[in-house]
């Protein structure tokens, strides 16, 4: 996808800083605050999104540009609503701007409709079969253009253009980057409970463009995207030898991460996509190891007796959070990336598992054992609070650290989304049941 207008992005005076809901006060190590699940946040931006105009209705490989203008606006509205940080309206029920008005909105009309912010845009069919999608953000009160961006795309990529537009709006109005132009790899499940058919599947973050990566002959578990999205690591029972594998997305080739007689599982990428930490069970003892993604001799990082698993890197790559039962119950520990200086950070009575370090670095998501509720804590273990009420496991972070996907339900799971600030949840649509989601970084251009 080619981005245009980059140098033309016009930034006006910043709005008042987004007031992030702070976590409620909690003593270090104390549980637990159940987030308000009604979906209210302190700051919500009211955004109007009318249909995108077209200079001339034209048929493309993805349909007529007039229809695409409607569909792109709908995707943007859904993205913003999904994030729980916006109150979008449109495109139905709103006036449709003409192509000539895309860059010069009638501010008084939009002010009268109660919009603080306005998104307008256009879809144009080009002679070479590509589309140009323009996306503009206006401050209605200030009567000014806040940002604009354009994309030259293949018609089949129109949803990505809409996501990129929504990401720009998210980034402009909040202090964070967005997370709409992203994908999720997860395990699609079907069949009876004792013999679940488990397939790797990949989809856009909103469930669109779903496809299966494996056919279900072998049980697969716990996929993870490389941050650069060139590879996916996962665990497979291929040939009844359960091991960690690496899938090259470009070639489709799959290879074992390490050779050897022992069962390997729980793989996670380092932030630079060059290293994988994983667990290996040797003679009743499971430890965390690291190895280059290209393979080689694993380096053992933990050596306490017991089960050490679920390693996840801090965003700077210097530390690894993992879970261990060395103290008698599953709890969260942090160590340096070379395995030195392990220290326990969670002391909750319920126990904590499946730690995942936020890409922002400020929080660690976890599954509370027993209750199977998803929670977050600070990297020093303080401020623990639970986000979800129903049983689930396996949190994965949005690239901006403001939302989490997780598996809701145990034997039969679904992929769900929870907004970290408000605790608002929603299901991510999948054609089958699902487990073990892994949320990608923003897609490269």
- Site for other proteins contains 260 (CB under 8 A): no
The reply on whether position 410 binds other proteins by CB under 8 A is: yes
Task: Determine, following the binding rule CB under 8 A, whether residue 242 of this chain makes contact with other proteins.
Answer: yes
CB of 285 to other proteins, least distance (A): 8
C-beta closer to other proteins: residue 245 or 265: 265
Among residues 49, 135, 200, 266, which is the contact residue for other proteins, using CB under 8 A? 266
Q: Edge to edge, what strands does the sheet with 392-397 contain? A: 392-397, 403-408, 414-419, 425-427
Write the CB contacts of 431 (distance below 8 Å, at least 6 apart in sequence).
188, 210
Site for other proteins (CB under 8 A): which residue of 31, 139, 393, 433? Answer: 393
> Could you give the CA distance from residue 33 to residue 27 in angstroms, rounded to a whole number?
11
The beta strand positions in 272-401, using DSSP E, are: 275-282, 285-292, 299-300, 308-313, 319-324, 331-336, 343-344, 352-357, 364-368, 374-377, 385-386, 392-397
- In the numeric block, which tokens belong to residue 131? 């589309």
Of 117, 233, 309, 438, the residue at the interface with other proteins (CB under 8 A) is: 309
Name residues whose C-beta falls within 8 Å of residue 177's C-beta, 6 or more positions apart in sequence. Answer: 167, 170, 171, 399, 400, 442
Tokens of 307: 């089960």
Among 330, 388, 400, 422, binds other proteins (CB under 8 A): 330
Residue with smaller CB distance to other proteins, 86 or 265: 265
Does residue number 284 form part of the binding site for other proteins (CB under 8 A)?
A: yes
* Span from 9-17, 149-157, 362-370, 376-384 in contact with other proteins (CB under 8 A): 362-370
Judged by CB under 8 A, the residue of 47, 353, 376, 403 near other proteins is 353
Q: Which is nearer to other proteins, 176 or 436 (CB)?
A: 436
- Output the smallest distance, CB 283 to other proteins, in A: 6
Among 141, 168, 107, CA closest to 15: 141
Q: Residues 10, 13, 18, CA angle at the centre, nearest 5°?
A: 110
Evaluate whether 164 touches 172 at the Cβ level (below 8 Å): no
Q: Which stretch binds other proteins (CB under 8 A): 35-43, 127-135, 234-242, 291-299?
A: 234-242
Using CB under 8 A as the binding rule, whether residue 31 contacts other proteins is answered as no
For other proteins, the binding residue among 193, 252, 349, 444 (CB under 8 A) is: 193
Total residue length of the chain: 445
Binding residues for other proteins, total number by CB under 8 A: 37
Instruction: Tell me the C-alpha distance between 209 and 103, whole Å.
Output: 31
| 221 in contact with other proteins (CB under 8 A) | yes
Number of other CB atoms surrounding residue 200 within 10 Å: 24
Q: Is 190 in the site for other proteins (CB under 8 A)?
A: no
Q: How far is the CB of 61 from other proteins (least distance, A)?
A: 41
Instruction: Confirm or reject binding of residue 219 to other proteins (CB under 8 A).
Output: yes
**For residues 420 and 80, is the Cβ–Cβ distance under 8 A?**
no
Q: Which two tokens stand for residue 444?
A: 């490269």
Which residues are CB-contacts of 102 (< 8 A; sequence separation ≥ 6)?
52, 53, 120, 121, 122, 134, 136
* 129 versus 370: smaller Cβ distance to other proteins: 370
Nearer to other proteins, 62 or 185 (CB): 185
Contacts to other proteins by CB under 8 A: 193-196, 198, 219, 221-222, 240-242, 263, 265-266, 279, 281, 283-284, 286, 307, 309-310, 323, 325, 330, 353-354, 367, 369-370, 372, 393-394, 410-411, 435-436
């Amino acid at each position: 996808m080619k981005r245009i207008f980059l140098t033309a992005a016009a930034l006006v005076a910043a709005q008042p800083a987004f007031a992030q809901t702070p976590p409620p006060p909690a003593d270090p190590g104390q549980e637990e605050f159940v987030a308000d699940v009604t979906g209210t946040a302190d700051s919500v931006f009211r955004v109007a999104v009318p249909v995108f105009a077209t200079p001339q209705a034209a048929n493309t490989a993805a349909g007529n540009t007039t229809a695409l203008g409607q569909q792109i606006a709908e995707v943007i509205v859904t993205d913003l609503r999904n994030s729980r940080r916006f109150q979008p309206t449109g495109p139905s029920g709103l006036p449709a701007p003409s192509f000539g008005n895309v860059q010069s909105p009638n501010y008084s009309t939009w002010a009268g409709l109660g919009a603080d912010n306005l998104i307008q845009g256009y879809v144009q069919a080009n002679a070479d079969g590509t589309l140009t999608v323009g996306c503009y953000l206006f401050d209605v009160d200030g009567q000014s253009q806040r940002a604009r961006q354009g994309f030259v795309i293949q018609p089949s990529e129109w949803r990505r253009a809409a996501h990129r537009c929504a990401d720009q709006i998210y980034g402009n109005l909040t202090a964070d980057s967005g997370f709409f132009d992203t994908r999720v790899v997860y395990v699609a499940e079907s069949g009876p409970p004792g013999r679940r058919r488990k397939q790797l599947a990949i989809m856009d973050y909103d469930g669109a463009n779903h496809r299966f990566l494996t056919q279900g002959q072998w049980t697969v578990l716990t996929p993870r995207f490389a941050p650069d999205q060139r590879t996916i690591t996962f665990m497979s029972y291929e040939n009844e030898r359960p091991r960690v594998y690496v899938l090259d997305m470009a070639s489709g080739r799959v290879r074992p991460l390490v050779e050897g007689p022992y069962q390997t599982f729980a793989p996670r990428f380092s932030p630079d996509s060059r290293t994988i930490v994983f667990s290996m069970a040797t003679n009743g003892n499971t430890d965390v190891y690291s190895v280059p993604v290209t393979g080689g001799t694993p380096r053992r990082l933990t050596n306490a007796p017991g089960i050490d698993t679920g390693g996840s890197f801090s965003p700077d790559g210097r530390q690894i959070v993992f879970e261990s039962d060395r103290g008698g119950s599953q709890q969260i520990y942090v160590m340096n990336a070379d395995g030195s200086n392990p220290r326990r950070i969670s002391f909750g009575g319920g126990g904590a598992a499946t730690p995942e370090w936020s890409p922002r670095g400020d929080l660690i998501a976890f599954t509370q054992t027993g209750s199977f509720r998803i929670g977050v804590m600070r990297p020093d273990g303080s401020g623990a609070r639970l986000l979800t009420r129903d049983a689930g496991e396996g949190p994965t972070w949005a690239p901006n650290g403001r939302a989490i996907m997780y598996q809701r339900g145990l034997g039969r799971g679904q992929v769900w989304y929870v907004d970290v600030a408000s605790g608002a949840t929603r299901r991510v649509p999948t054609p089958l049941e699902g487990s073990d989601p892994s949320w990608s970084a923003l897609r490269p251009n």
